[in-house]
Chains A and B, each alone.
Chain A
């Protein structure tokens, strides 16, 4: 990261530098009656100002749990952070008291969730809920808070914002509610925004609107955005860097163009080969066989090996692969990544 300016791939120069948020070797366990599930098993990632990091994974991959652990909102019990660091501009968030973390949340890091209807309180008006951010954190008066709420509603492009300040969440459509949630999250100008499946429950045209809004807001404020999703299309559209998660681990890390053009991990390769595309037709979908593993009984060695066409008994079933360095910007947790990279990405599927 010695260069001052990194090209984001779209001709938009972005100042690089130290990461705003660094997660190092995060470990999260869920202690259930059926055993201990290692939901997050040594995850490391970096978020930079002005850049979007996509955390890609399916259910059970640990992506949401990672976000919750970073925000300090993990359900505990049954979840417990058992190791690692979450460094925000040098401060380890995991070491903070809950009171200190409360200040961080909202002011420095904010989060937007999938289901806006359940994330918003149904008995308070949306203006009230947005204004609450200012009242609680900054002690502003109610009137001033509402004025700022109005500003924010306009910033997230809610039409007729002035009239709608007093409306309740159920009076808005899904897309509008999502914008309100974004407004609440951005109220105090956080440096990092975590969006956990923000558009999964929305129609595709609304999804496009929301993703465009997030991109614009990010450009205006220069904040770092973590986008958690399973949607390969959305990631291709907006992400700068990608981290692919499987069974609680990061299995591949790369800039967005590299991952799609030339994946370095069998899981990524399999995912890309298995999705139907709107711009082409007629190919067979290559399906990854099998099921994601049971987190309380992970396979030995590489967690992906039961489903992997590249696997060999040794070392895949015996040694857990570390994140091998594929290049200065890329990593892959596969013992045979050099076979995956550069090869025919449909051959094995």
Chain B
């Protein structure tokens, strides 16, 4: 306890840029313009006539939109400054956002997706003029079928939760087709499955039953046996769970639900630790889904839009969203003639750029490469776990002593009891070293949680640096907790009040809402 803290540890120091940048609407100066367009020449004006009059009146604005009025350089400065206040995936060792699979996404795939060949496509184009894109969608489906063992896929969902909703909507349609939709009104999940499983099923109208782990920290098969009944519509389960623990009895889980007539949906949003190793089909699942933006590198978070892909067995294929992409031996086409389909899950056909990026990523790796991704991700994770568990105050609850798959949900409970420092505050302090850190979904089941997922992308040196930061902060917590308690010291925002996050009345997610709620007195 008397050892002084080295004032200059061998850690990367970070100081976030602070620009005190107003909201863009507050930067508006009436009359300022980015580009001054030349007056239309008289000849052209006469030839074209009144262009606006040719627009239907219902499409014409009554008033000009209230956009900020700014010069081009002011707009550029504004966004460049905001980008400097960010802590992004290309800036830090991004292993701290566990469950999100923050892998490195090759820039070549981004370039491909940004090329005019892709960016100038329009979803309303005639099928015959987008054969290339349809072919990629068709081929990507074949690849995902091979990876999962399922019979058909849809690429339409716009995100992981959207894919889970697609899954439960197909399951609901299946039970309705059996005349059992009224009877089967319960969905079972586990507390360490991604919470979107419970949320999406609830949106679909189901009652939710959640199972807690058994004494050893594995999903509790006896609890499942107590919970299943003729009311069971489905089991929605993640495996490995958010703890990184693989369910060794997953086949028993599936069988238990099948016996009572329920279906099983496998949340493989994050399949990074099992690519080429296990398949949903072999465990007996009826439905599964992947997040292209996690496992398939398209990439995750604010690096780009999300995309989900849902796979089904032949039995459930009639319920897939429309359209499916088919090939008749000569051309690719969109098939809307699917009478049992659940319909559309989002406009058009899905996030096309992500499909292209996922396809390119899979093809660049090949089957052996995919398996190597999983092997390296698991190796990295277990290496990092060993380093982290050497830190005073850290532990990995449940299935103690066992290895994890692609991530670990750690606990700082010991450190917290010793020092009064909470996991979230370790995250605030981590920002001073230029790294991101995440606790867990709420409510916290593991006390003082931290979830790390190193993926296959980070080197040993990266992992050592990240573990070094955690070790340093833990030492600070024991020796001089005030440093951690008052962190972050080098960021644009110090501490915020979380209370309003749960109070829709205090949200202002648009400028208009801000004007209504704050500017006009009702703060």
A and B associate in one complex = no
B residues adjacent to A (C-beta < 8 A): none
